[in-house]
């Protein structure tokens, strides 16, 4: 098989535009990137099969038919993209409704860990925030342990 | 033995239910499992005494040479008796110790008996890997038992500390096992011991194994975890941290001692760490005020002593060592149990607050006194017999042995002193402390401790019988010329007896001295296990923060960027470096393609640059239509049809949502990142284009689809090859895809609808519009406000025509362009037109059903088609063709995969309906509610 240069160029441009949009913060733009990228990928699949007449028996002689297999794959992919578009749109709307914008925010918890790393700190005391009932006898025992081991007698 | 382990596992599974049923009394039933172990071991006493091990082998993973190989020799027999006997007694004790309404009791019962099973497996395993599995199981169960009360920070921390320390040792031990096993070609200890490597290899393996044993048995520098583990309930301390788990390390040393005694590091390491641990533990025990901690440090000290005796490596010390294992388990478990009783009776374990307890509970004092006498090494207790044996054995040894003996005597002095401190602290009348109130102690609560104490005395009195039972283990060591030592209460006036007297009087003196003088000597070491532990843990935490902070930046564009750059560098690099670039190519299949391609390229580039949402949306749509045009030119009418329809539905969806979102994208001011994004985009595009070029040119094989047309007609019964591929040849693929559509539709609805009650997606219409709107076909809806009346009427006229067309597409799709996907999209568009013309009233009038019902029905029909084919004896989703004659309609060519296509059709319709209800109708409703709220606010 020889490559169709027109397809190759269109695939490249669609993927380039799609990826550029995908790396944005606005969810609407990300979504448009996904759609362009999806179109590019579909065309990439199509490149793998030869062109020809519609693959309908009786209408086109078999040796002139276009390859039906990539077409079946692309067809499902197109409809999946539709479902995904709907979902991302709903997500964008939800984000706008809750936050007043549709931007993909950085993860707050990850940001907190990065701050800790910059301050050269550890994750802090292991069990902060839990319900503690520290006034029972076994706990006092364990505290005494900590005290005595810290005093240097390791026994 | 496997059956016994299984009994424990089964008991652990049903234990929580038993506890729910009978409360704490269920523990008596649970105690039957370790009780059965004890009985079983006792029935094998005769065989074990005559040196016949009990062997059992069950294949497990033959490919790995892993067998469930069990072997019970003398040493294992002793441990099995202890694990079973003490386990049953402690469980019986627990039935009184806990209250029935204790929330953790069910879990305690389950984990405790599971631990007993794991411990049993550990001591009878012959396969080293199996032993390791049980070893780690005891660690895990111990973790759960120490963390009995997860609400307490101290118990969580202690549990984690014990887990980390013992697991670290366990891993080292595993490495040692593997070294030995790989050398010997077998993991059966009975075979490995016969086939040991030599030199440095053996030394390293021995050290690794020692690391596991020492950490498990809380030997310096790992001692610190054991006192921390006292956060566990007292029964746990009595069993795990006195009789059973901490003995695992001792057991391992005893098991391997006969084989390893001559290895370079074995003896020195054991003697040095053991002696050090013995002194540190004993000294620290003397300074405790909590009775339980006093016992815990005492245990540490005794474990050190056990390591020294068993590590000394002669026949007589080995005999003394196993005798001491027996004695220690009996007296230390007893003492822990009595502390638990005191704790319950008085409400404290602080010896500064306890006074007059001995007078109030004389029976308890007697039980504790018996056990304490054994611990101090007084006749006629088992502890005395064992210590005599140890002293005697060391006395006749080398110079090193004599030095060790001096250490052991010193340790004994400490032991006697802290024993006295325990008895005095727990039971004495203290002049300056008022007598504490003591609740009466019921006999079932006291009985287990009493049984253990009496057993300790009996083992001492019946020393010759014990000697006969344990001697086969000691005889594994080479016996010298002399006949060997025998355990007995009375050997005459020997030097050993003199040393015993010396140790006891020294201990009494030390105790009295410390009572009077309040000695404040703190032993300081340059190297402290607990400090190293906390430093290491803090270091790991810091490392985790640095690593996480450096890699997990929480930014989606960053993550995507990394992935894409890898894509560019690796496959892109391969493209540039090594792949053969095709020399031949063609520019186009038909010149029209260039026109369509130009449209797509221009639209895509402009879409990436657009600042307004609407502009970008239209440009993306144009690119999509351009692709559809390319599909037509390629000879793919089905694709083109679907692409046109999907693009249209997409535009409708975008319009519905974009009416709420701001007009322009929020621009970020940073230009450099924009350049970076474009650079990555261009690079990825170039690599993808390169891959498309190379991959297409590299194709040489005949495509698999060359037979599709024939198969489509003969098996699928249809002429449209693409459609038959979807519903027959690759029907599984389609099945997965429609499932994804259902999930996506559900996701959309759940994102938009805020309350579950709104999810009745027919939706409420103000003024009860649904019921009224249906009969009035060509009149406008009740809530049609701003919409054009003419448009509404026209769409109603067109609606049925479009629906009819969609049905035609559905059924003709098997032989002509069309099919379930295209038909569903057309029907969905008909609904969209109705909605756009008349709002949600019109939509509900056109489709008075819940979108969920449509989706579900579609999935049901699709799956049902497949299952029906299976029920009729075919494969899942196999197609059958029926040709028959009907009056009026004539000859009918019927293909069963049409049903599958109907399912696909319903799901696509359901998806579009769901989108219209969510992104359209529900968003309208929410907007209206907000408008009303705003207006009300303005009025106020």
| B647 and B503 fall within a common domain | no
Residue-wise pLDDT for B5-37, tens only, equals: 999 999 999 999 999 999 899 999 999 999 999
Q: Which of B521, B539, B572 is the last residue of a domain?
A: B521
Residue A50's CATH number = 1.10.287.3510
Instruction: Identify all chain B residues contacting A120, using CB atoms and an 8 Å cutoff.
Output: 542
Angstroms from A133 CA to nearest CA on chain B? 6
CA distance A95 to A108: 16
Judged by a CB distance cut-off of 8 A, whether residue B642 touches chain A is: yes
**Beta carbons of B752 and A16 less than 8 Å apart:** no
Residue A149 binned pLDDT confidence (cut-offs 50, 70, 90): very low
Judged by a CB distance cut-off of 8 A, whether residue A62 touches chain B is: yes
Q: Burial level of B488, CB count in 10 A (0-12/13-18/19+)?
A: middle
Residue B284 binned pLDDT confidence (cut-offs 50, 70, 90): confident
- Tell me, yes or no, whether A95 lies in a domain: yes
pLDDT value of residue B52: 84
pLDDT value of residue B781: 47
pLDDT value of residue A138: 41
Report yes or no: B910 and B862 within 8 Å, Cβ to Cβ: no
Is the pLDDT reported for residue B569 higher than 60?
Answer: yes
CA distance B499 to B410: 10
Is the pLDDT reported for residue B619 higher than 90?
Answer: yes
Q: Which of B521, B539, B567 is the last residue of a domain?
A: B521
Q: Name the residue among B232, B556, B620 with its Cβ closest to that of A32.
A: B620
In order, the DSSP letters of B209-244 are HHHHHHHHTT-TTSTTHHHHGGGS-HHHHHIIIIIS
Instruction: Decide: helix, strand or coil at residue B821.
Output: helix
Q: How many other CB atoms sit within 10 Å of the CB of residue B800?
A: 12
Residue B927 binned pLDDT confidence (cut-offs 50, 70, 90): confident
Residue-wise pLDDT for B123-164, tens only, equals: 999 999 999 999 999 999 999 999 888 888 888 888 999 999
In order, the DSSP letters of B567-578 are HHHHHHHHHHHT
Q: What is the token pair recorded at B730?
A: 């690759």
Q: Looking at chain A from residue 113 to 132, which residues have their Cβ under 8 Å from any Cβ of chain B?
A: 113-114, 116-118, 120-123, 126-127, 130-132
**Beta carbons of A117 and B546 less than 8 Å apart:** yes
Give the pLDDT mean for B619-639. Answer: 94
pLDDT value of residue B793: 85
Give the pLDDT mean for B730-755. Answer: 90
Is the pLDDT reported for residue B615 higher than 60?
Answer: yes
Domain count, chain B: 2
Question: Residues A143, A146, A151, CA angle at the centre, nearest 5°?
Answer: 130
Is the pLDDT reported for residue A144 higher than 60?
Answer: no
The residue segments making up the domain with residue A40 are 5-108
Domain count, chain A: 1
Q: What is the token pair recorded at A32?
A: 């448009």
Residue B522 binned pLDDT confidence (cut-offs 50, 70, 90): low
**Beta carbons of A131 and B658 less than 8 Å apart:** no
By percentage, how much of chain B surpasses pLDDT 90? 48
- Tell me, yes or no, whether A49 lies in a domain: yes
pLDDT value of residue B415: 94
**Beta carbons of B709 and A79 less than 8 Å apart:** no
Give the pLDDT mean for B77-101. Answer: 93
In chain A, the residue whose alpha carbon lies closest to the alpha carbon of B610 is: A29
**Beta carbons of B635 and A55 less than 8 Å apart:** yes
Q: Name the residue among A39, A51, A103 with its Cβ closest to that of B589.
A: A51
Alpha helices in B23-124 (DSSP H): 26-30, 32-43, 45-49, 74-97, 105-124
- Tell me, yes or no, whether B738 lies in a domain: yes
Closest CA to A144 of B124, B34, B294, B681: B294
pLDDT value of residue B670: 58
Q: Looking at chain B from residue 789 to 818, which residues have their Cβ under 8 Å from any Cβ of chain A?
A: 815-817
| B325 and B454 fall within a common domain | yes
Residue A152 binned pLDDT confidence (cut-offs 50, 70, 90): very low
Q: Tally the residues of chain B.
A: 940
**Beta carbons of A35 and B561 less than 8 Å apart:** no
In chain A, the residue whose alpha carbon lies closest to the alpha carbon of B922 is: A90
- Tell me, yes or no, whether B28 lies in a domain: no
Angstroms from B867 CA to nearest CA on chain A? 22
In order, the DSSP letters of B711-761 are HHHHTS--SBHHHHIIIIITHHHHHHHHHHHHHHHHHHHHHH--SGGGGST
Residue-wise pLDDT for B104-131, tens only, equals: 899 999 999 999 999 999 999 999 999 9
Q: Name the residue among B223, B555, B650 with its Cβ closest to that of A82.
A: B650
Strand partners, B67: B59
Q: What is the token pair recorded at B553?
A: 């930046």
Residue B525 binned pLDDT confidence (cut-offs 50, 70, 90): low
Report yes or no: B68 and B60 within 8 Å, Cβ to Cβ: yes
B479/B651: higher pLDDT: B651
Q: Name the residue among A5, A39, A122 with its Cβ closest to that of B585.
A: A5
Judged by a CB distance cut-off of 8 A, whether residue A147 touches chain B is: no
Judged by a CB distance cut-off of 8 A, whether residue A94 touches chain B is: yes
Q: Which of B481, B500, B521 is the last residue of a domain?
A: B521
Instruction: Identify all chain A residues contacting B294, using CB atoms and an 8 Å cutoff.
Output: none
Report yes or no: A123 and B545 within 8 Å, Cβ to Cβ: yes
| B781 and B913 fall within a common domain | yes
Alpha helices in B479-612 (DSSP H): 495-517, 529-551, 556-577, 591-609
In chain B, the residue whose alpha carbon lies closest to the alpha carbon of A55 is: B721
By percentage, how much of chain B surpasses pLDDT 70? 94
| B485 and B633 fall within a common domain | no
Closest CA to B705 of A140, A31, A115, A49: A49
Report yes or no: B35 and B141 within 8 Å, Cβ to Cβ: no
- Tell me, yes or no, whether A117 lies in a domain: no
Give the pLDDT mean for B376-402. Answer: 89
Q: Report how far Cα B487 is from the mean position of its chain's Cα atoms.
A: 48
Q: How many other CB atoms sit within 10 Å of the CB of residue B271?
A: 21
Q: Name the residue among B587, B704, B747 with its Cβ closest to that of A87.
A: B747
CA distance B490 to B485: 12
Q: What is the DSSP letter of B485?
A: -
ipTM: 0.80
Residue B269 binned pLDDT confidence (cut-offs 50, 70, 90): very high
The residue segments making up the domain with residue B431 are 265-521
- Tell me, yes or no, whether B256 lies in a domain: no
pLDDT value of residue B148: 86
**Beta carbons of B623 and A136 less than 8 Å apart:** no
- Tell me, yes or no, whether A151 lies in a domain: no
Could you tell me which residues come within 8 angstroms of residue B719 by beta carbon, excluding any fewer than 6 positions away? A56, A57, A58, A59, B712, B713, B814, B815, B816
| B482 and B621 fall within a common domain | no
Q: What is the token pair recorded at B391?
A: 């002293």
CA distance B26 to B428: 36
Mean pLDDT is lowest, of A112-116, B353-357, B483-487, B564-568, for B483-487
Query: Model pTM?
Result: 0.68
Give the pLDDT mean for B665-685. Answer: 81
- For the four alpha carbons of B805, B810, B815 and B816, in that order, the dihedral sign comes to positive
- Tell me, yes or no, whether B175 lies in a domain: no
Angstroms from A18 CA to nearest CA on chain B? 7
Judged by a CB distance cut-off of 8 A, whether residue A5 touches chain B is: yes
- Tell me, yes or no, whether A77 lies in a domain: yes
Could you tell me which residues come within 8 angstroms of residue A88 by beta carbon, excluding any fewer than 6 positions away? A27, A30, A31, A34
| B728 and B863 fall within a common domain | yes
- Tell me, yes or no, whether A35 lies in a domain: yes
In order, the DSSP letters of B682-700 are HHHHHHHHHHHHHHHHH--
| B788 and B658 fall within a common domain | yes
- Tell me, yes or no, whether B92 lies in a domain: no
Judged by a CB distance cut-off of 8 A, whether residue B520 touches chain A is: no
Is the pLDDT reported for residue B621 higher than 70?
Answer: yes
Whether a cis peptide bond, with omega within 30° of 0, leads into B380 is yes
Residue-wise pLDDT for B778-801, tens only, equals: 444 444 455 678 888 888 889 999
Q: Name the residue among B281, B553, B642 with its Cβ closest to that of A155.
A: B281
Residue-wise pLDDT for B709-719, tens only, equals: 888 888 888 88
In order, the DSSP letters of B176-191 are HHHHHHHHHT--BHHH
Instruction: Identify all chain A residues contacting B630, using CB atoms and an 8 Å cutoff.
Output: 7, 10, 43, 46
**Beta carbons of A28 and B613 less than 8 Å apart:** yes
Residue-wise pLDDT for B539-551, tens only, equals: 888 888 888 888 8
- Tell me, yes or no, whether B129 lies in a domain: no
Mean pLDDT score of chain B:
87
């Amino acid at each position: 098989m020889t490559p169709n240069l027109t397809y190759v160029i269109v695939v490249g441009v669609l993927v380039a535009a799609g990826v550029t949009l995908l790396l944005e913060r606005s969810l609407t733009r990300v979504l448009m990137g996904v759609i362009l990228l999806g179109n590019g990928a579909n065309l990439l699949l199509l490149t793998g099969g030869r062109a020809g007449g519609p693959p309908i028996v009786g209408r086109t002689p078999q040796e002139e038919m276009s390859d039906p297999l990539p077409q079946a794959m692309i067809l499902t992919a197109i409809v999946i993209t539709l479902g995904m578009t709907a979902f991302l749109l709903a997500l964008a709307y939800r984000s706008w409704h809750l936050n007043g914008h549709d931007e993909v925010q950085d993860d707050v918890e990850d940001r907190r860990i990065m701050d800790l790393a910059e301050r050269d700190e550890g994750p802090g005391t292991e069990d902060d925030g839990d319900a503690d009932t520290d006034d029972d006898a076994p706990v006092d025992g364990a505290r005494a342990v900590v005290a005595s081991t810290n005093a240097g007698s390791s026994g | 033995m496997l059956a016994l382990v299984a009994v424990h596992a089964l008991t652990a599974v049903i234990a929580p239910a038993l506890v729910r049923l009978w409360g704490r009394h269920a523990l008596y039933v649970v105690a039957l499992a370790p009780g059965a172990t004890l009985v079983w071991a006792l029935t094998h006493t005769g065989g074990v005494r005559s040196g016949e091990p009990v062997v059992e082998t069950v294949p497990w993973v033959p490919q790995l040479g892993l067998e469930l190989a069990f072997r019970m020799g003398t040493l294992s027999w002793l441990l099995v008796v202890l694990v079973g006997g003490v386990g049953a007694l402690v469980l019986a004790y627990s039935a009184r110790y806990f209250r029935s309404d204790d929330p953790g009791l069910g879990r305690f019962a389950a984990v405790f008996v599971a631990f007993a099973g794991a411990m049993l497996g550990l001591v009878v395993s012959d396969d080293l890997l199996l032993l390791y599995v049980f070893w780690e199981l005891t660690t895990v169960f111990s973790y759960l038992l120490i963390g009995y009360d997860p609400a307490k920070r101290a118990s969580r921390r202690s549990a984690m500390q014990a887990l980390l320390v013992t697991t670290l040792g366990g891993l080292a031990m595993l490495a040692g096992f593997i070294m030995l096993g790989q050398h010997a070609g077998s993991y059966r200890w009975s075979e490995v011991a016969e086939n040991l490597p030599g030199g440095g290899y053996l030394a390293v393996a021995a050290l690794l194994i020692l690391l596991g044993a020492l950490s498990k048995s809380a030997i310096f520098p790992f001692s610190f975890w054991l006192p921390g583990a006292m956060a566990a309930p007292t029964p746990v301390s009595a069993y795990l941290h006195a009789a059973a788990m901490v003995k695992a390390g001792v057991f391992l040393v005893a098991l391997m001692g006969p084989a390893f005694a001559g290895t370079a590091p074995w003896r020195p390491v054991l003697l040095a760490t053991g002696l050090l641990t013995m002194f540190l533990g004993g000294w620290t025990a003397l300074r405790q005020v909590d009775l339980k901690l006093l016992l815990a440090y005492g245990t540490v000290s005794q474990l050190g002593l056990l390591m020294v005796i068993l590590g000394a490596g002669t026949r007589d010390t080995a005999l003394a060592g196993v005798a001491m294992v027996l004695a220690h388990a009996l007296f230390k478990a007893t003492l822990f149990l009595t502390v638990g009783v005191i704790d319950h009776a008085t409400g404290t374990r602080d010896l500064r607050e306890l006074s007059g307890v001995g007078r109030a509970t004389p029976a308890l004092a007697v039980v504790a006194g018996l056990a304490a006498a054994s611990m101090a090494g007084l006749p006629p207790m088992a502890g005395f017999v064992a210590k005599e044996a140890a002293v005697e054995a060391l006395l006749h040894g080398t110079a090193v042995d004599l030095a060790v003996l001096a250490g052991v005597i010193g340790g004994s002095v400490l032991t006697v002193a802290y024993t006295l401190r325990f008895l005095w602290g727990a039971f004495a009348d203290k002049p300056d402390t008022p007598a504490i109130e003591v609740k009466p102690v019921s006999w079932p609560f006291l009985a287990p401790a009493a049984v253990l104490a009496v057993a300790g005395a009996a083992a001492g009195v019946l020393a010759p019988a014990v000697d006969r039972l344990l001697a086969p283990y000691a005889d594994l060591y080479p016996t010298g010329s002399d006949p060997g030592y025998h355990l007995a209460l009375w050997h005459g006036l020997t030097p050993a007896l003199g040393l015993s007297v010396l140790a006891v009087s020294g201990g009494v003196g030390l105790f009295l001295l410390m009572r009077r003088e309040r000695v404040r000597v703190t032993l300081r070491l340059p190297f402290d296990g607990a400090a190293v532990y906390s430093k290491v843990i803090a270091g790991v935490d810091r490392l985790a923060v640095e690593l996480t902070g450096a890699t997990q930046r929480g930014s989606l564009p960053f993550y995507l960027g990394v992935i894409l750059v890898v894509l560019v560098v690796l496959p892109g690099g391969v493209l540039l470096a090594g792949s053969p670039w095709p020399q031949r190519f063609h520019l186009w299949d038909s010149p029209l393609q260039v026109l369509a391609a130009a449209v797509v390229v221009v639209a895509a580039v402009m879409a990436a640059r657009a600042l307004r949402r609407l502009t970008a949306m239209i440009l993306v749509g144009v690119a999509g239509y351009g692709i559809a045009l390319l599909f037509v030119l390629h000879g793919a009418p089905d694709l083109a049809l679907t692409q046109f329809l999907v693009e249209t539905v997409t535009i409708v969806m975008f319009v519905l949502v974009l009416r709420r979102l701001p007009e322009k994208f929020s621009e970020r001011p940073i230009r450099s990142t924009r350049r970076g994004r474009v650079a990555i985009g261009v690079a990825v595009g170039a690599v993808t284009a390169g891959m498309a070029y190379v991959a297409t040119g590299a194709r040489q094989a005949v495509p698999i689809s060359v037979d599709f047309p024939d198969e489509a007609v003969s098996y699928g019964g249809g002429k449209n090859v693409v459609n038959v591929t979807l519903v027959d040849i690759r029907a599984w693929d389609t099945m997965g895809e429609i499932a994804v559509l259902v999930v996506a539709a559900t996701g959309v609805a759940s994102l938009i609808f805020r309350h579950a009650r709104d999810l009745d997606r027919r939706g409420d219409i103000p003024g009860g519009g649904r019921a009224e709107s249906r009969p009035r076909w060509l009149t406008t809806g009740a809530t049609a406000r701003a919409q054009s009346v003419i448009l509404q009427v026209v769409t109603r006229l067109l609606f049925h025509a479009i629906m009819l067309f969609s049905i035609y597409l559905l059924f003709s799709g098997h032989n002509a362009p069309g099919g379930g996907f295209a038909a569903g999209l057309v029907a969905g568009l008909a609904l969209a037109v109705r909605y756009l013309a008349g709002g949600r009233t019109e939509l509900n009038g056109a489709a008075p059903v819940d979108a969920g019902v449509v989706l579900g029905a579609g999935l049901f029909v699709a799956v049902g088609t497949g299952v029906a084919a299976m029920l009729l004896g075919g494969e899942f989703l196999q197609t059958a063709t029926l040709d028959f004659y009907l009056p009026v309609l004539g000859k009918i060519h019927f293909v069963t995969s049409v049903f599958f296509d109907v399912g696909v059709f319903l799901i696509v319709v359901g998806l579009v309906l769901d989108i219209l209800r969510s992104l359209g109708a529900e968003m309208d409703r929410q907007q209206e509610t907000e408008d009303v709220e705003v207006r009300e606010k303005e009025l106020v």
